[in-house]
Structure 1
């Protein structure tokens, strides 16, 4: 066998062997999820139960999203669960600064990650996003979850009771994945607060 063919064959064999040895033990749940890979894009950031998103300090109205994550029984706190959120700026676009990589090119830079503590607690400090400029979608905050031993999957967006775009037709199609994401923000100490508890596996396809 010519030397270049032998080298190519060995390289291919090693590559295939390495790929086959990387077994994926995560349960595959939640169905198709375009962009869920963005949950893994926190790089070398050490995740904690609290995160503050870019532009929080300079934007109004400020918003706090907080609550607990529970196991499927709705009672046992779920520790070590990663939550990823992203949303538009105050003009209704997914703002970029330039130089974004991966899903940051589409999700923009207004995004954050937390990992729940032993009590299942989480909190994000951000600001209330705007609806899309064409008015087709209500204000919303995207939410993706990654619990131990599953793939990343999406949950219902955070949406707001007082949003005039969120009409009855749009409310009727909310699937309540992980529990309802619909809430009325409450003003406390100058910050709008949304309390949302999440139940893992609730209304999630293929979840045992």
Structure 2
């Protein structure tokens, strides 16, 4: 009986330890991520692989962001991955309507969410953002990802090869989280297209 109680106690300790380690690992994937909570702010919106951001219809140049999300092997499509993006308007600010809640008070209302399909596909329709008014940062689109059963973490922003502010110094600071975010928009049928594939876990701290 004593041996049974001892083994039961040891098993319970191991189970608690394993559970704690798993939760700890999940909470640390990707390191610090200020504002990653915004990924969950889509409310009752039903997510699929495609989303159109506010002001798309009235803004130029229009932009289509599309690609495939892969698992860490870089070959297997990753389904049910939520991607969240937000960016500035054409004046370089994150515009507000005045009734924002949560992280929308900082990110503004030009933001969107998708959930990848079985092929790992995603598409965002938006427009090309402007650089910050003071010229300190190049044009960019923030990107956050969340896989099933792990926490949200940020990926390298979408930046643009033809942006004059994106000098060599700034290019050298890119971390390639999830793969390179450096893109070259290509004009097709009146819309700039940006193709970017994402590899989950690539250059993400504590991913494994």
Asked whether the two chains share a fold, i.e. TM above 0.5, the reply is yes
Matched, 1:27 2:51: no
Give, in angstroms, the shift of residue 76 of structure 1: 0.2
- The correspondence of residues 179-190 of structure 1 with structure 2, limited to 5 A, is 179-190=179-190
Matched, 1:166 2:144: no
Q: Distance in 2 between matches of 1:26 and 1:153?
A: 13
Q: Is the 8 A contact 1:68 1:120 kept in 2?
A: yes
Q: Distance in 1 between matches of 2:106 and 2:163?
A: 24
**5+ unaligned residues in a row in structure 1: which ranges?**
1-22
Tell me which residue corresponds to 1:102.
102
SS of equivalent residue, structure 1 residue 92: coil
- The correspondence of residues 55-70 of structure 1 with structure 2, limited to 5 A, is 55-70=55-70
Compute the TM-score of the two structures, normalised by the length of structure 1.
Answer: 0.88
- The correspondence of residues 68-147 of structure 1 with structure 2, limited to 5 A, is 68-147=68-147
SS of equivalent residue, structure 2 residue 170: helix
Q: Is the 8 A contact 1:26 1:151 kept in 2?
A: no
Tell me: CA distance 1:207–1:24, structure 2 relative to 1, closer, same or farther (3 Å): closer
Q: Is the 8 A contact 1:26 1:149 kept in 2?
A: no
SS of equivalent residue, structure 1 residue 27: helix
SS of equivalent residue, structure 1 residue 56: coil
Q: Deviations over 1:28-86 (max 9, x none)?
A: 30000000000000000000100000000000000000000000000000000000000
Divergent runs of 4+, >4 A: 23-26
Tell me which residue corresponds to 1:39.
39
Compute the TM-score of the two structures, normalised by the length of structure 2.
Answer: 0.88
Q: Deviations over 1:104-163 (max 9, x none)?
A: 000000000000000000000000000000000000000000001110000000000000
Q: Distance in 1 between matches of 2:118 and 2:166?
A: 35
Tell me which residue corresponds to 2:48.
48
Q: Distance in 2 between matches of 1:180 and 1:99?
A: 35
Q: Distance in 1 between matches of 2:163 and 2:114?
A: 26
Tell me which residue corresponds to 1:19.
none
